Amino acid sequence: MDEIAVIKCGGSIIDNLSDRFFDNIKQLQQNGIQPIVVHGGGPAIQDMLGKLDIPFSFIDGLRTTSAEAMDVVEMVLAGHVNNAITRKMNTAGVQAAGFSGSDANLMTGAPKDLPTYGYVGDVSGINVPFLLQILDQGIVPVIAPIAAGKNGDRYNINADSAAGAIAQAINAEKLIFVTDVPGIITEEGLLPSATEAEIEELIAKRVIHGGMIPKVKAALACLNEDLPTVMIADANQAINQAGFTGTAIKRSEEAV
Ligand SMILES: Nc1ncnc2c1ncn2[C@@H]1O[C@H](COP(=O)(O)OP(=O)(O)O)[C@@H](O)[C@H]1O
Ligand SMILES: CC(=O)N[C@@H](CCC(=O)OP(=O)(O)O)C(=O)O
């Protein structure tokens, strides 16, 4: 079976994706790797909530999501952003199909802590057979991070966590968070790799802050024997045979 690469495309870069991003997807396919794209859309959600005057706050990098805000999150992610990326991929010559994570119970979830976060969810399951059927047809699934809950509820899932859960469930060989920076940057420049201990220290020193925190936490949470490294990388770089360049997150120095 072909290798699978989950690529999480951050909301920070969605409006500025260059031809390189789409060429990279094609390059992976030519290298015998089946891509799955999971996207964010934080800035677009922010804009729309602002326009509609719907309040929210962030707790530990997660957007508190009232029932009213959840309607907007779903509309923006599964409607606007998902359609836009999927269309751009097809225009660029990559056969892609967009899904809300709640379609076909592709991603199921449960509330993280309803009184504190509202409709923010944790992923509880992934419909792997459905995803494999899409991949078997040579189609790139493009997934919005909305999870189906019980009784028709739906949950807002942080896109980094959604990508990690999908990569783990489908036993992906690669997980790459592509974003608007080339990786984790410190005073010394771009870190080629970072272990859990190094990341904890950088968070404590506030070198890693803001949106980078949920990203590194999601990366650490999904590392295992089958997925020993997760990359954080610039979405618009030109990849080569070795794949994406950026910061490789590992549990420890020994991991490859
Ligand atoms: N040490 C760091 N190195 C690089 N970027 C960092 C760091 N700490 C915080 N950031 C911020 O994290 C941002 C990426 O996170 P975020 O905006 O949530 O991206 P995305 O929408 O792609 O998930 C960067 O644009 C940068 O402002
Ligand atoms: C619970 C939570 O915070 N969900 C995120 C979902 C989108 C996302 O994660 O987008 P980025 O990748 O652009 O950050 C949100 O509401 O912004």
Q: What is the DSSP string of 105-133?
A: GSEEEEES-HHHHBSBEEEEEE-HHHHHH
Is the residue at 33 inside a domain? yes
Greatest Cα pair distance, the chain, in angstroms, is: 51
Residues 6+ away with beta carbon under 8 Å from 205: none
Dump pLDDT digits (tens) for 192-201. 999 999 999 9
Is the residue at 91 inside a domain? yes
Cα(96) to centroid of ligand 1, in Å? 27
Cα(63) to centroid of ligand 2, in Å? 7
Is the residue at 211 inside a domain? yes
For residue 255, pLDDT beyond 80: no
35: containing domain: 3-250
Mean of pLDDT values over 94-102: 98
Protein residue whose Cα sits closest to atom 7 of ligand 1: 208
- Residue 252 has a pLDDT of 79
Cα(179) to centroid of ligand 1, in Å? 7
Percent of the chain with pLDDT over 90: 91
| Confidence at 132, pLDDT banded by 50, 70, 90 | very high
Is the residue at 142 inside a domain? yes
62 close to 32: Cβ distance less than 8 angstroms: no
List the binding residues: 41-42, 63, 156
Q: In whole angstroms, what is the distance from residue 230 CA to residue 216 CA? A: 9
> Domain containing 237 — which CATH number?
3.40.1160.10
Q: In whole angstroms, what is the distance from residue 232 CA to residue 246 CA? A: 6
Whether residue 5 has its Cβ less than 6 Å from ligand 2: no
Dump pLDDT digits (tens) for 31-71. 999 999 999 999 999 999 999 999 999 998 899 999 999 99
Mean of pLDDT values over 103-121: 98
Protein residue whose Cα sits closest to atom 14 of ligand 2: 42
Residue 64, classified by CB atoms within 10 Å of its CB into exposed (0-12), middle (13-18) or buried (19+), is: middle
Q: How many CB atoms lie within 10 A of CB 43?
A: 17
Q: Which one of the ligands is nearest to 199 CA?
A: 1
Whether residue 96 has its Cβ less than 6 Å from ligand 1: no
- Residue 86 has a pLDDT of 98
For residue 242, pLDDT beyond 90: no
The whole-chain average pLDDT of the chain stands at 95
- Residue 1 has a pLDDT of 61
- Residue 124 has a pLDDT of 98
Protein residue whose Cα sits closest to atom 16 of ligand 1: 211
- Residue 243 has a pLDDT of 87
Q: In whole angstroms, what is the distance from residue 39 CA to residue 11 CA? A: 7
Which element (helix H / strand E) includes 50?
Answer: helix 42-51
Is the residue at 256 inside a domain? no
- Residue 241 has a pLDDT of 78
Is the residue at 82 inside a domain? yes
Residues 6+ away with beta carbon under 8 Å from 131: 36, 106, 141, 166, 170
Q: In whole angstroms, what is the distance from residue 93 CA to residue 90 CA? A: 5
Whether residue 209 has its Cβ less than 6 Å from ligand 1: yes
Q: Which atom of ligand 1 is nearest to the CA of 178?
A: 22
- Residue 159 has a pLDDT of 97
- Residue 61 has a pLDDT of 87
Q: Which one of the ligands is nearest to 16 CA?
A: 1
Cα(15) to centroid of ligand 1, in Å? 16
Residues 6+ away with beta carbon under 8 Å from 175: 5, 6, 8, 163, 164, 167, 219, 222, 227, 230, 231
Mean of pLDDT values over 139-153: 97
Could you give the number of structural domains in the chain?
1
Q: In whole angstroms, what is the distance from residue 50 CA to residue 53 CA? A: 5
Ligand 1: residue of 13, 181, 193 to mutate (most ligand atoms within 8 A of CB) is 181
- Residue 92 has a pLDDT of 97
